[in-house]
Amino acid sequence: MSTEPVTEQRQAEWAERAVRESAAGQPDDPGTPYAGREQQVLARIERARRRRPVVREERITLAHGSGGKATHTLIDAVFLEAFRNPLLAPLEDGATLSLGTARAVFTTDSFVVNPLFFPGGDIGDLAVNGTVNDLAVCGARPLYLSAGFILEEGFPVADLRRITASMSAAAKAAGVSIVTGDTKVVERGKADGCYITTAGVGLIDRPALGPPPEGSPGLSISGARPGDAVVVSGPIGEHGAAIMVARGEFEIEADLASDTAPLHDLVAALLDALPTQVRTMRDATRGGVATILNEVATGSEVAVVVEETAVPVRAEVTGVCELLGIDPLYVACEGRFVAVVDGAYADRALQALHGHPLGRGAAVIGRVVADPAGLVLLKTTFGGTRIVDLLVGDPLPRIC
């Protein structure tokens, strides 16, 4: 390697600082035999991962909206920090509230998808189904929704009509009413057409999901335990793949439609069959199934082992993902959920799901084991093992 006279040389201050900050508080234990060193490094990394996350960036980047690591960090370090309370802290898909004698679930979601209209749906049914699904996977019967619109100056009223028509149809299909709303308009260029925020309320009217003595511990992301089975309600990644193709940036043609659908009925079928044996459910949106599995692993302090060959993925989705170098496990769905159920009831869960049109493609994709806690492991089709981590950065911004 030749050397080159260097005129001016600088230090990367931020990097030196990051190294110092991280080194403070974790002394390296020297003098250990080589064989065990990798293990020690792995243990050190786990400790580092458990520390409170800090937002290092000075500004919001697109990665903060990805649903992956940066989003989790932002939620933890900024939102949870500011709003901390016992109802928010579990970071479930919705908050479970006691209103008098009733137990209700309250949730909200914003939609910025690009394009607004895509095969299989549009931002309107997405906004209704997204909130309906968040309520459903918390065990609630969805009842009432709100809808807030942020519109860009110049947005065609005909498009808005199309959106509200599909919202109305989706609400009807889900058995909910949109009972309150709000409208704001911003100058041209300050938003991209139309953004929608919905919030929803639902009732938990299953005694089995209530507090003890009648009820189980309820649905909770911390409820998974070794021996449980992991179920997905259908083939994954269709929404994300359809959006990618619809954007037309990749010059790919594929026969794909979004899977957007209301899941309350399917969830009810599962809870009817397994009143107390479902540990947790989440609908797999941004960040895909992989993100939920990671939330289960960290939330319940368990390992999740997934069999790649068991994961249902349509050939078109595999094809698009292969071309773009994206793993379908990370691709968004809008009409699929992941459930962790008592392992002994896995077959009964599948039976219940298969009996519903939206659950025909349901499959057991993996199981919960004790060790190594906090990790999601994938047995690959090829026969090897690897980790499935939270995604860093955003392969596809504005997917929902």
Partner 1 sequence: MRFVDEYRDAGMARALAAEIAARCEPGRRYTFMEVCGGHTHTIYKHGLEDYLPETVTLAHGPGCPVCVIPMGRVDDAVHIAEQPGVILTSFGDMMRVPGGRGSFFDAKAAGADIRMVYSPLDALKIARANPDRRVVFMAIGFETTAPSTAMTVLRAAAEGLDNFSVFCSHVLIIPAIKAILDSPDMRLDGFIGPGHVSTVIGCEPYEFIAREYGKPLVVAGFEPLDILQSIHLLLGQLAGGRAEVENQYARVVPWHGNRVALEAIGKVMRLRPHFEWRGLGFIADSALGMADEYAAFDAERIFDLPGIRVADPKACQCGEVLKGVLKPWECKVFGTACTPETPIGTCMVSSEGACAAYYDFGRFSRERVREATRS
Alpha helices (H) in 67-110, listed in sequence order: 69-74, 81-83
Span of 36-44, 164-172, 253-261, 335-343 interacting with partner 1 by CB under 8 A: 36-44
> 199 forms bridges with which residues in the sheet?
108, 146
Task: By CB under 8 A, tell whether 114 contacts partner 1.
Answer: no
**Of 397, 167, 136, 113, which Cα lies nearest the Cα of 283?**
136
**Of 153, 151, 133, which Cα lies nearest the Cα of 142?**
133
Instruction: Kindly state the number of chain residues that form the binding site for partner 1, as judged by CB under 8 A.
Output: 69
CB 305 within 8 A of CB 369: yes
Q: Token match 């704001």: residue? A: 184
Query: By rule CB under 8 A, what string of x and - marks binding of each residue 282-311 to partner 1?
Result: ---------------------x-x------
- Smaller CB separation from partner 1, 316 or 334: 316
Task: By CB under 8 A, tell whether 97 contacts partner 1.
Answer: no
Which residue of 168, 276, 318, 351 would you call a contact of partner 1, by CB under 8 A? Answer: 318
Query: By rule CB under 8 A, what string of x and - marks binding of each residue 358-397 to partner 1?
Result: -----------xxxx--x-xxxxxxxxxxx-x--xx-x--
Spatial separation of the C-alpha atoms in residues 249 and 20, rounded to whole Å: 42
Spatial separation of the C-alpha atoms in residues 174 and 171, rounded to whole Å: 5
**Of 245, 206, 272, 234, which Cα lies nearest the Cα of 357?**
234
Residues 229-258 that bind partner 1 (CB under 8 A): 249-250
Task: By CB under 8 A, tell whether 50 contacts partner 1.
Answer: no
Residue 173, amino acid: A
Which residue of 22, 32, 98, 183 would you call a contact of partner 1, by CB under 8 A? Answer: 22
CB 118 within 8 A of CB 243: yes
Which residue of 14, 29, 100, 255 would you call a contact of partner 1, by CB under 8 A? Answer: 14
- Residues lying near partner 1 in the complex (CB under 8 A): 1-4, 6-16, 18-19, 21-23, 26, 28, 37-39, 41-42, 44-45, 48, 56-63, 69-70, 73, 249-250, 303, 305, 315, 318-319, 322, 369-372, 375, 377-387, 389, 392-393, 395
